[in-house]
Every structure is written in C-alpha cells, then in structure tokens.
Chain A
Amino acid sequence: MPHDHHDHLSPSGHPYRQDNDGALTYWQTMEIAIRELMIEKGELTPAQIQEQIDAMDARSPANGAAVVARAWTDPDFKKRLLENGSDAAREMGFDIGPMHLVAVENTSDTHNLIVCTLCSCYPRNLLGLPPDWYKTREYRSRAVREPRAVLREFGVELPESTTLRVHDSTADMRYIVLPARPVGTENLNAEDLAKLVTRDSMIGTGLPKAP
C-alpha cells in the first residue's frame, strides 16, 4: 500500500517529489558559463534566449492536428504530405528546422506506431515536448517487442486483419502518424476536425476522438 510509507507522504497523502537543490552538475555549470559569456560578449541578449525558450514551449500537438486536419480535407495536400512531410509542414508555416519529417498513414487495414528505441526522437516542432512515457525504457523496448500488447494498454485493440507497422526513429527522420479520418465527420471543416486529433493519435498509441 503506497499510503503505508508515511515518511514519503505529505499531510495530504501525496508523495513528496524530490527537490533539485543539489550541487550543479558539470554540464549545468558549463551551460551557465557559456550563456553568461555569450551575453557578456554581445553575441546574444537575455531577451533572445527567453524568446527561444518561449517558442519551444509554445509548440504543441495543435500544430500536428492542423496538419492532419488539412490532409483530411485537401487530397492534394495529403499527397504532398505523404511524399515529403518536411515540405508539407513548411508549406503550412511550421518551421521544422533541419528536421526531416515522414508522415505515415493509417488506413482501414494499416495502423502505424512511432517509437525511438535509442533515445527520445520526436517531431517536437509539430507535437511539442514528448510525454514522459515516450522516453521510458519500458515504452521504447516494448513498442518494438510486443507492440500490440502496448496498444491494448493504451486502449487500442487492433483486429487481427490489420497490419501494424512500427517505425523506429533511429536516425535523421522524425515521424508523425496521419490517423484515419473518423466516420461521421463528412460535414466538419478543417478547424473542427483538428479538435478531434489527439497527440496520441499522431504517435499511434491512440485514435482520433469521435465527433
């Protein structure tokens, strides 16, 4: 019983989270030293650094959802997205930097799942920061070893007749799943469709919401 360990619980019954007030590591010290030097030498301003942090924090799965909704409503765009994901994302105004994007399409008989077994490669420009579970050893190993069992734990039961394609992002590509458009959405526009596109549906561990 977790509640038996009173030493580790706050009065409200929640576990204490260890604070990070230990000594700085070598690399933390290095980062602070370089940052301060660059500011002192006029290479960067504190405002520019804050701007970059804000830009990174502003990226969210809404970016990816907009790309998916556009692909659902614009067949020519969908074709371009599947042919060259990087160019299609740029075309929608998403600065994807040096990243190479591959979009993989779920259909009536194919489901795609993304993992990075080596580290935590993730299309951050379109989906924001990866969820903590995406970076765990458990997800990274089990997604390639027993992907259907992992999907069941996420609530996705694939029929036997569906082919599951797992994509291990081992090098320079980043992947986004283009989920299948939910039935009963024929009358929705791209803006409303985007609201049905969840983060997990673009990783492949989930499906879009029903209208």
Chain B
Amino acid sequence: MTLSPGTKVRIKTMVPLGHIRTPHYLRGKTGVVERVLGPFKNPEQLAYMVPAPTRTLYRVRFEMGHIWPDAEAPQDTLDAEIYEHWIDQDAP
C-alpha cells in the first residue's frame, strides 16, 4: 500500500552490508512523507547488476531538532529519498 503525503513514518534501524542509500544518520528517526516519487528499481540489487525489483520511493521530511538534539534551529528540516522497504510499518 502506498503511503500518503503527511503519513508519519519511522526509518528502520537495520544495518545491512552493500550498496545502501539510506544514510545512517536517519536510521531509527521519525519523519513525515513529503511526497510519493513512484516506483524505482531497488539500487541495493541494481548496483550489483542482479534483477532489481521496483520499490516505491518516498521523500521523507525530518525535523533537524529530532535528528540532532543540539541543532541550531530545531524547526529546520531535512528531506531525503527513502525506499519503502526502509520504512518500519509497525512503528507506532
């Protein structure tokens, strides 16, 4: 199911090896879907030239004060592109 803009999401804390596009500093953090970008081939397989399934890609917006507790301006935001399989659907 595609998540709608505005949905609160948490990024998984897993640490798989390989070509991963989810930056470490966002793992375990909570943000909000800013927009749905659509289906893209999963770079985690694509990078190794093996069959790559498509995954929905989202732009997720995080608050700086949440990522960095000592942020100079906590209300500033950080947007990043996150693939669906990095979103923890069971998070509260």
Interface residues of A (CB under 8 A from B): 100, 102, 117-118, 144-149, 160, 163-173
Contacts and interface: CB of A to CB of B under 8 A. Distances in A.
Contacts of A118: 21, 23
B81 A172 contact: yes
Given A118-B23, A172-B40, A160 B73 contact: yes
Contact of A171 (B43, B73, B77): B43
Bin the interface of chain B by size: 20 to 34
A170 B82 contact: yes
Consensus secondary structure, chain A interface:
mixed
Among A117, A169, A171, chain B packs the most CB atoms within 10 A around the CB of A171
Given A100-B37, A172-B57, A173-B59, A147 B79 contact: no
Given A172-B40, A172-B57, A166 B77 contact: yes
B52 interface: no
B81 A165 contact: no
Contact of B76 (A100, A165, A168, A173): A165
Contacts of A170: 21-23, 80-82
